[in-house]
Amino acid sequence: MKKLILSLSALVAVSSLASAQANDWANHPRYAADNAKLTQAPEVVFMGNSITDGWDDRHNEFFTDNNFACRGISGQVTGQMLCRFYSDVVDLKPKAVVILAGINDIAGNQGPMDDRHIAENIFSMAEIARQNGIRPLIASCLPCDTIPWNANIVNTATHVVNLNTMLKDYADANGITYVDYYSALTTPEGALNPQYTDDRLHPNKAGYDIMEPIVLEAIKSKAPTQQKPAQMKSRRHHRK
C-alpha cells in the first residue's frame, strides 16, 4: 500500500509538472533544453516572436556561423518576452541582444494593447540587458498593413509607425543602437514589400537576406553616445 501511495504521488507530481509547463504563459520550457546544452556564451541573442523564430528555420547558418542564439517564439507578445528575458537572455551571458517585437501586441494576441505600453515593455528588456552588462539593440517592428488572423485590427500600418517612432526616440536618447529593418522592407503605403513576404507579415528568404546585413552592421557598429539626462524624455513624450 505504501509503495502504491508513493507511486501515485510520483504520478501526480509528474502530471502537475507537465500541466504547469503546458500552462506557462511565457513558455519558459521552449528553450530550456537548448539553454542547458550551451557550452559557451553566445555572441548575440535574438529575442523575438515568429519573425525571429522563422529566421532560424529558414537560415540556421546565420545563427550557427556567427555564434548567435535564436530565442524567438511564435505568437508571443512583448510581455511574454519580458517574463522570460532572464532565462533566455541574461542567463546565457551574451555580449548583446537584438530585440525584435511588437507586431503580436498590435495584433491583440493577448488582448488590446496600447502602443506606448508595447514600447515600454521593450524599453524594460533593454534596461534589464544593460543592468546585466549586455548591450541591447532595439529593432524596428517590420512594416505591416494587415493582421491576417485578426480582421478587427485597423490602421495596422499607423500603429507600426507610431511604435517605431517611440522605439527610435528612446534608443537615440539612451545611446542604444536602433536596427532599422522597416525602411528597407516597406512600401510607400507601409506594407511589407511583396518581394520579401508570402503572407504580408512574415519575411520570406529574400526578406531575411535583406535583414541580415542590416543587423550585422548594427552589431559591428559602435553604440551611439547617450544624450544628456535632461533630453531623455521618450517615455513621456508620446503619451496622449
Domains defined for the chain, CATH in brackets: 43-237 (3.40.50.1110)
Residues of the chain with pLDDT under 70: 1-22, 228-240
Question: Angle CA(211)–CA(216)–CA(219) in degrees, nearest 5?
Answer: 125
Would you state the pLDDT for residue 9?
A: 38
Residue for grid cell 536618447: 173
Q: How far apart are CA 1 and CA 105, in angstroms?
A: 52
Query: What is the model's pLDDT at position 223?
Result: 85
pLDDT tens figures, 9-55: 333 333 433 443 468 999 999 999 999 999 999 999 999 999 999 99
Could you give the 3-state DSSP secondary structure of residue 57? helix
For the four alpha carbons of 104, 107, 111 and 117, in that order, the dihedral sign comes to positive
Contact (Cβ atoms closer than 8 angstroms) between residue 41 and residue 89: no
pTM, full prediction: 0.86
